Structure 1
Amino acid sequence: MFLNVHSSYSLKYGTMDIPAIVSNARALGIHQMVLTDINNSTGAIEFIRECLKQGVTKEPDEVQKGNIPYYIKPVAGIEFRKDNQPLYIGIAKSKEGMRELNEFLSAHNIEDIPLPSDAPVFKNAFIIYPFTKIFNRVLKPNEFVGIRSNQINYLFKHPLLQQKEKLVVWHPVTIGNKVEHRLHEYLRAIELNTLLSMVPEESKCAKDECLIPEEELKIKFETFPFIVENTQKLIDACDLSIYFEPELKSKNRYSYCKEGEELDKLLLRRIAYKGLEYRYGKNNPVALERMEKELRIIELKNYCAYFLITFDIVRYAISKCKFYHVGRGSGANSIVAYCMRITDVDPIDLDLYFERFLHEKRTSPPDFDIDFAWDERKTIQEYIFKKYPKRHVAFLGTMSTYKDRAIIREIGKVLGLPKVEIDGFTDPARERENQQNATYQKLIAVHQHLKSKPNQRSIHAGGILISQEPITYYTALDMPPKGFPTVQWDMYEAEAIGYEKFDILSQRGIGHIREAVQIIKQNCDCDIDIHDFKTFKNDPKLNGILRAGQPIGCFYIESPAMRQLLKKLKCEDYLTLVAASSIIRPGVASSGMMKSFIERYHAPDQVVYLCKEMEEQLKDTYGVMVYQEDVIKVCHYFAGLDLADADILRKAMSGKYRSKLAFEELVNKFFISARKQGHSEKLITEVWRQISSFAGYSFSKAHSASFAVESYQSLYLKTYYPKEFMVAVLNNYGGFYSRWVYVHELQKTGAKVHLPCVNHSDEVVNINGNDAYLGFIGIQGLESKFIETIPRERRLNGFFKDLEEFVKRTQITLDQAILLIRLGALRFTGKDKKTLLWDIYNYLGHKQKKINATELFNLEHKQYVLPELENSELEDAYTELELLGYPLNFNMFDFLKTSYRGNVMAADMHKHIGQTVKMVGNYVCEKTVHTIKSTKMWFGTFLDANGDFFDTTHFPDTTPIYPFKGKGCYLILGKIVEDFGFQSVEVLKFAKLDIHMNPVAVE
């Protein structure tokens, strides 16, 4: 009877999630429903699955009560709306009908075409139009009219009675009960960006739009029983049971080869064995044995096509585009992936655990993460979408919820609260004060109801689905701004349906490496084999930089926290770096396990293991769980869980598992199984504490190894070609730090760094020999048109001879020319800035004058003799600070009124351990941390006057509410402490130092 049920996937409209809808319906004895969310089919397959799941569940107490389990017949469709008004409801008669509805909506989403007022003819789907008093539409065979119980009186002498077989019951369901209607009103107000009291009635659902017993609904239509009969016939004609799958089957493309899966197996073996010889030589029995083991499981699980498609993507990137990539994730645990060059991580060298990636009992899909440079990923994505048929390839979606406390701001807005009051409610520092405020309590109460609700659909960072059958059998498609069709559900639903995603990701570190190799070729005439990792990892110079903790610009290992960890570990080898890449993660650090690892790393003979099993499985990491594989091993060998359950538990703890109940069952299973192994309750509790605090934030060992390989590649380039490497870092928008830090590093290499110059600079930084010119792209306020035009014009027609020619050839505007002059980009003229500013007004005046690009006669402007105009270094430095964000040739310390630079420099901190000292530092960055007591503390990073880094710690009891006051130099009074060889300053007093004012501002 319920042909129009909305779930919370009807965004900012429905209030019930799908399990609640099914559960409520079962409690009311309802036997069939149609889920029709507004302009989406996000929940369609979940609804079908949930009906089956709740129907076959036989709880003991239900049996005792005499309740016979049954499943609600699930039917699905879509409610089509335009401009917030319902047009018609589409109901799928079959799987083909679901595809028709999804295809129809997808076409309009992708082409950005408004939905038509009249539905097209669907072969396998019904259409229901809302009843109106003046309804006069000519109905097609598959079309009906839905009438509400409160509209029955309008049927008297209505023309539709002549087609009474076309009338069906229309009882929309939107809310769980009448109390939830208020929650619905909040959602509508947020959607319409209006006050709660100003939401139009026509934009809201009726207060009775909730589930009621079927018999009660039938009574409402007892004067027209044929309407109920028509409705029942419509539902009886629908059958989506084909979506019931007792055993989950992969929906990914079955075969890579057109000829089918058998040829896939042969092709995979041929490529893998060819790569085996390339990676390991001709006779390596260990590699050969592992290859056969992996291929057997891959074939058994029918993942040959998955590997071959990934290989095809990588092959295209390498051979056609000359792109560099990094393969990471659990897929890097595979020797097959290593030999196919999907990854550069050697699983034998690292003793990687293949079962972390794939094993016979594993039901969840494997995972490949392929990283490309930030500006190359779209090319790869376009290749994938062109290679595979339309509607068989799509981006994975995501679904954000209202859990972010920022929604409190939205709730406050719809309640009409002033901005100042809302700002106070969203300030964490005022949390205790707010708790006593009645208005705040109301906001929090609404937020509690909203926080688990879906808020909006978006696009996954890089997940792509390649489907055997059209994806529209399972979802409609959106077209987000990125320009690729995107499914309407997230990774959890994709996995539940049976899709494995291909992660095509990007990172700037790869761009650093790629461009550095190109620049080295141009500037040094040297070809670099950046994949010669075996040489890199044994290079003492590279390992020396690691040990010193100064890898600025190198991907993943340049952050203050990572630099500190490298120094504490005295890291000087690949395996230690692999471990460091994992233990830096938040869960390990916050649980105290990072500190334990460092202590045990320096004193391995003094390690006391919790038990024999922990020693056997974690001896390489001194009894500390460092990798995700460690969680699996501990669950398997300590607690006795089988590999499948151990891996599912690991995955659940990483946040990739939605069922809270299923997770709790696994936790109970862990404790029960561990007790059966004879372990004490105290030991089991401690092992579980370590697992639970670690697993949610950990990396797989292969993932960490991939990062470590990339770090070594960056280290090699930084060590042997530092100038070219730092230019590449700048041209790929840096890394962890602000741009000026990398300019500073470039200057430290001995390169002569020049301000932008119209006769030497390009769009980005360039280097020729020892001279590096900053690019136009870094000038704040310079339009992209001129960033591109100036170097292009110079390359085509040669250097600019003077200001007048520059103006004519580039057609630059007055305001843009002034920016370049102020920064010194026209210094080639030999004139000072103020003279050039005078001249530019002479050419362009106060208003822009059109100057023809070509002239019959080249007429020179009259030259005027100007008095000498003064210019100062300080004024220039302030101009650079304004237009570049940093002064290039004027040290930040030179802005200071004082000449004091501290009584200890960073390089000498090790000589003053335990002493209270004064240091002066140029602010680099900060990190805020919340303590156990809900107070704040900070970690700061600074450069001293010699250009060396040092770090500070600001504890709550010695620090004001917020200690930092932006860019500049600070006087720091503090105690130098040392932790495993790493020195830092525990700050006692802290103040920003006064600077000389801009002479122009003073005037």
Structure 2
Amino acid sequence: MQDQDFVHLHLHTDYSLLDGAIQIKPLSERLENLGMKACAMTDHGNMYGAISFYNTMKARGIKPIIGCETYIAPGSRRDRAGRAAPGEKANFHLILLAKDYEGYRNLSRLTSKAFTEGFYYKPRIDKELLAQHSKGLIALSSCMSGVPSALLAQDRFDDAAVAALEFEEILGKGNYFLEIQEHGLEPQARIRKPLVELSKRTGIPLVATNDAHYLMPDDARAHDVLLCIGSGKTVSDQNRLRYGTPNFYVRSPNEMWDIFGSELPGALRRTVEIAEACDLTLPKGVNYLPNYPIPESDTGLSADEYFEKTVRDGYRTRKVQVWDLELAKGELKHTFEEYEARLSHEIAVIKRMGYAGYFLIVWDFVRYAKEHGIPVGPGRGSSAGSLVAYSLGITDIDPLKYDLFFERFLNPERVSMPDIDIDFCVRGRAEVINHVANLYGRESVCQIITFGTLASRAAIKDVGRALDMPYAEVERISKMIPPPVRGRNVSIEQAIEQVPELRKAIDTNEQVKEVIDIARRIEGCARHVSVHAAGVVITPEPLEEIVPIAVSAKDEVTTQYEMTDLEKVGVLKMDFLALNTLTIINDCLNSLKHLLSEAFSWSKVMLNDERTMQLFTEGRTDAIFQFESSGMQDICRKLKPKSIEDLSALNALYRPGPIDGGMVDEFIQRHHGKKNVRYIVPEMKEILDTTHGVIVYQEQAMQLAQKLAGYTMAEADSLRKAMGKKNREEMAQQEQKFIQGSVDRGIKRDKAQQI
């Protein structure tokens, strides 16, 4: 780094909820434009955005420094005696930066215990906890709310020196720095010389920071409004939090050198030295799978051996209860040799990929639910393609019968964690989670955090209220934002382009213009935390040893990382979905049992019952899961389904892509014989015959790739995934591979291109 470089070591993203207004992606762009090679993230009391920050910065070639501006209790973190006395702070601030992986883990432990042990208005640590987990950390004394600065502001120089030296002793010499800032605030100016003197007296080096809370100078007004949103105040309120100057932005190195360069160049160079000392690399390809407790009766078996034994026991049960009966009726589509070969293949892949324990974990809690009368769904998503899952009773769908592929669920050529979503009755879900917590330890099981964001309409409403705009006017403007399109919010930018009325309001009304301008600046910022409706994590050791945890407003323990970030760090995530439909079905069955004095199982219901299909034909599908929307009811009336296969096809086709591409109408026309079915090559008929020549299922695309172009099923799954993600670069590569493979197998090039 050059002589006049500078690194931001004190910076708040929008994960400093309703205080930080810096979103991570725009931050990375700003840093790149400024030529800055490193940056720290130090949100208030949490590590919510650490993984997103780490990966985004890495992708830009910028060194990410993961940190936190912790709240530190004046005494014990466990003290709940009451608020601080007048003139005293309830907590102080301390910046902690992870030097390495050990420091990252200690930061995770500290921020976790701040929530679980020290929460009192804020998540707090104390000096005792800091001393226990100080290795691998660098600390900065923080802003005016840091202990030394707060004491200097009270003209308590000697006390500030004692406090600073105590922190240095805890962190170790060379790991604690006195932070100096300049935002044009009188209190900062007043302690500037005492801070310099304190550094000389104690020998603790100074480091210059800028306490960035927003990206650019002209974001100051938007940040001020954000503070009002967070505190429930309006900008006209005199008694509210405000920053006082427009200087809490991501300053350039030149700006920082203009401020401190002549007097304290060492404080600026020290930011670079600290950044160089921080060299965190998060491990890749690590999966933190808990160990399934093997029963005492099988203690001699390894997890792999017990897994295979359990699977084969389940397979034999399915054979007796299902396949032997189908064979007797002449309804078994595949031979037992095919079933056994498929089972052996799946077992081998699962064991080779190290996921035997995963399947045992899922098998255990599904079995628990069924044994305790808690309704469980028959299967959801790609896991229905696993014969192992069917044999274990995790799913109740025979994958061979319905031509479902294991590779779509678990691709041996693409190492990724399996993902089995399980539906439970609403009333029984909590009991199942409680069983899991008891089995693996409550310190190793928790739910997953999610973040509510300031979407376009919400941003306008919040900003309007903060700016004292009349309620009716706020509502009028916010309603100009079009409703979400297929689950995606329409951004303010898009709305301005699409809605002339909104553009006119902006052009003719200064207050509306200001509301929209500020709302655009904070749109997308994290607003609040909540608990994911389904996600649960299970770890092999206490959670805080692997990921930071938090405590929700309802005292629920959650991760600090959201679901996608948990997957990136290799934590096992399970979806325990609470499905109201299962509860309704169960209540109906109980009513029938009461009325008829006879037990009735929904799994025995005929799937092609004529009277039931007539209901679908008439579109009378209110409250039927995935068939209750008016659009789906209309399509049901047009198709007039006669079988479960017809319903399955409709469910697969009722998506934005097929609807927009005319596939639904084409399918209906062919279904009724109003359009002829033509195949580009005869080999396609075997695969597409049941869907009238229309590629309805992703499995059909995989089959075509295998049959026509010689793909392995694992390669076909990679093609499927590329199609789903609409990755143009990868699709171009797959196109060439498919065409060449088809040509090599005797298909004309123009036909292959058409397919």
TM-score by shorter chain over 0.5? yes
User: 2:288 is matched with which residue: 244, 251, 259?
Assistant: 251
Aligned to 1:435: 503
Task: Give the C-alpha shift of residue 220 in structure 1.
Answer: 1.5
Residue of 119, 128, 150 corresponding to 2:140: 128
The answer on whether the counterparts of 1:165 and 1:226 sit within 8 Å (CA) in structure 2 is no
Q: Report deviation, 1:98.
A: 2.7
Q: Aligned pair in 2 of structure 1 residues 381, 300: CA closer, same or farther (>3 Å)?
A: same
Residue by residue, what CA displacement relative to the aligned partner does 1:528-586 show, whole Å, maximum 9, x if unpaired?
A: 233325xx225555455555554666544455554544443332322222223323445
Question: Is 1:418 aligned to residue 481 of structure 2?
Answer: no
CA distance in 1, matches of 2:26, 2:748: 40
Q: Report if the CA contact (8 A) 1:255-1:304 is conserved.
A: no
Aligned to 1:329: 381
Correspondence list, 1:617-656, <5 A: 617-630=687-700, 642-643=715-716, 645-652=718-725
Contact 2:108 2:545 in 1 (8 A): yes
How far apart, in 1, do the equivalents of 2:680 and 2:524 lie?
A: 39
Q: Is the 8 A contact 2:429 2:576 kept in 1?
A: yes
* Residue number among 489, 498, 508 corresponding to 2:561 in the alignment: 489
- Picking from 39, 42, 46, the partner of 1:33 is 39
Tell me the equivalent position of 1:271. 310
Q: Does 1:352 align with 2:404?
A: yes
| Cα shift at 1:526 | 0.8
Deviation at residue 421 of structure 1 after TM alignment: 1.6
CA contact (8 A) 1:291 1:335 kept: yes
Is the 1:397–1:486 contact (alpha carbons within 8 Å) kept by the matching residues of 2? yes
Map of 1:185 onto structure 2:
224
**Residue 392 of structure 1 aligns with which residue?**
444
Q: Sort the Cα spacing of 1:645 and 1:529 in 2 relative to 1 into closer, same or farther, 3 A.
A: closer
Structure 1 residues 638, 666: closer, same or farther in 2, change over 3 A?
farther
Give the structure 1 partner of residue 357 of structure 2: 305
* 2-structure distance, mates of 1:600, 1:330: 28
- Structure 2 counterparts to residues 122-161 of structure 1, below 5 A: 122-124=133-135, 125-129=137-141, 130=146, 131-132=149-150, 133=152, 134=155, 136-137=159-160, 138=163, 139-140=166-167, 141=169, 142=171, 143-149=176-182, 151=189, 153-155=192-194, 158-161=197-200
- The answer to whether the 8 A contact 1:332-1:347 is kept is yes
Tell me by how many angstroms 1:386 deviates. 2.6
1:338 aligns with 2:374: no
Q: Which amino acid aligns with 2:65?
A: V
Separation in structure 1 between the aligned mates of residue 37 and residue 481 of structure 2, nearest angstrom: 52
Confirm whether residue 6 of structure 1 aligns to residue 12 of structure 2: yes
Aligned mate of 2:342, from 284, 287, 290 = 290
Residues 568-967 of structure 1 mapped to structure 2, 5 A cutoff: 568-603=638-673, 606-609=676-679, 617-630=687-700, 642-643=715-716, 645-652=718-725, 663-669=727-733
Distance 1:204 1:625 in 2: 61
Tell me which residue corresponds to 1:43.
49
Contact kept? 1:403, 1:450, Cα under 8 Å: no
Instruction: Indicate whether 1:113 and 2:120 are aligned.
Output: yes
Q: Gapped runs of 5+ residues in structure 2? A: 1-6, 73-88, 183-187, 325-334, 483-498
1:29–1:213 CA contact under 8 A, matched in 2: no
Cα 1:28–1:634, aligned 2, differ >3 Å: closer, same or farther? farther
5+ residue gaps, structure 1:
56-70, 654-662, 688-1003
Aligned partners of 1:308 and 1:460: how far apart in 2?
Answer: 24
Question: Offset of 1:407 from its aligned partner?
Answer: 2.1
Q: Deviations along 1:27-67, whole A, 9 cap, x unmatched?
A: 54444432211222122233333444333xxxxxxxxxxxx
Higher relative contact order (CA 8 A, sep 6+): 2
Which of 576, 593, 597 is 1:525 aligned to? 597
Quick check: 176-185 or 426-435, which moved more?
Answer: 426-435
State percent identity of aligned pairs.
25
- 1:76 paired residue among 48, 66, 69: 66
Alpha-carbon spacing, 1:94–1:567, altered in 2? closer, same or farther (3 Å): same
Kept after mapping to 1: 8 A contact 2:314/2:393: yes
Contact 1:32 1:75 in 2 (8 A): yes
Task: Name the aligned partner's letter for residue 123 of structure 1.
Answer: S
Q: Is the 8 A contact 1:42 1:475 kept in 2?
A: no
- 1:95 counterpart letter in structure 2: Y
Distance 1:549 1:47, change over 3 A: closer
Whether contact under 8 Å (1:268, 1:304) holds in the other structure is: yes
> Does the CA contact (< 8 Å) of 1:435 and 1:441 recur in 2?
no
Over 3 Å counting, the alpha-carbon distance change for 1:28 and 1:432 in structure 2 is closer
Q: CA offset at residue 295 of structure 1?
A: 1.3
In structure 1, the residue corresponding to 2:179 is in which secondary structure? strand
Q: Which residue of 2 aligns with 1:455?
A: 527
In structure 2, the CA distance between the partners of 1:673 and 1:513, relative to structure 1 (3 Å rule), is: same
Give the Cα–Cα distance (whole angstroms) in 1 for the partners of residues 698 and 431 of structure 2: 32
**Contact kept in structure 2, 1:2 and 1:170, CA below 8 Å:** yes
Task: Give yes or no for the alignment of 1:162 onto 2:201.
Answer: yes
For residues 413 and 258 of structure 2, the distance between their equivalents in structure 1, rounded to whole angstroms, comes to 49
- Per-residue CA deviations over 1:725-763 (Å, capped at 9, x if unaligned) read xxxxxxxxxxxxxxxxxxxxxxxxxxxxxxxxxxxxxxx
Structure 1 counterpart of 2:423: 371
Q: Which amino acid aligns with 2:181?
A: R
Q: Secondary structure at the match of 1:468?
A: coil
Q: Deviations over 1:921-955 (max 9, x none)?
A: xxxxxxxxxxxxxxxxxxxxxxxxxxxxxxxxxxx
Structure 1 length-normalised TM: 0.59
User: Equivalent residue of 1:107, what SS?
Assistant: helix
1:17 aligned residue: 23
Distance 1:261 1:546 in 2: 53
Residue-by-residue CA offset, 1:227-258 (whole Å, 9 max, x unaligned)? 457656655554422x153xx23233365659
More helix by proportion, 1 or 2?
2
**For residues 366 and 419 of structure 1, do their structure 2 counterparts lie closer, same or farther at Cα, with a shift above 3 Å needed?**
same
Q: Does structure 1 retain, via aligned residues, the 8 Å contact 2:227–2:241?
A: no
CA distances 1:406-464 after superposition (whole Å, capped 9, x unpaired): 32222222232212222221334994333212244554444443334333332222011
Query: How many Å separate the matches in 2 of 1:623 and 1:221?
Result: 72
Q: What is the aligned partner in structure 2 of residue 479 from structure 1?
A: 551
Structure 2 counterpart SS, 1:76: strand
Shift of 1:615: 5.3
Q: Which moved more, 1:587-596 or 1:154-163?
A: 154-163
Q: Deviations over 1:265-310 (max 9, x none)?
A: 1122111111112222488212111111211221222221211111
1:891-946 per-residue CA deviation (whole Å, 9 max, x = no partner) reads xxxxxxxxxxxxxxxxxxxxxxxxxxxxxxxxxxxxxxxxxxxxxxxxxxxxxxxx
C-alpha separation in 2, matches of 1:193 and 1:404: 19
Aligned with 2:204: secondary structure?
A: helix
Structure 1 residues 211 and 668 mapped into 2: Cα distance closer, same or farther (>3 Å)? Answer: farther
Do the aligned partners of 1:165 and 1:227 also contact (CA within 8 Å) in 2?
no
Compute the RMSD of aligned alpha carbons: 3.9
Number of positions where the alignment pairs a residue of Structure 1 with one of Structure 2 = 657
Work out the CA distance in 1 between the residues paired with 2:481 and 2:213.
38
**1:645–1:666 CA contact under 8 A, matched in 2:** no
Verify the 8 A CA contact 2:10 2:42 in the aligned structure 1.
yes
Quote the offset at 1:216 in angstroms: 5.1
Is the 8 Å Cα contact of residues 618 and 625 (structure 1) preserved in structure 2? yes
1:174 to 2:174 alignment: no
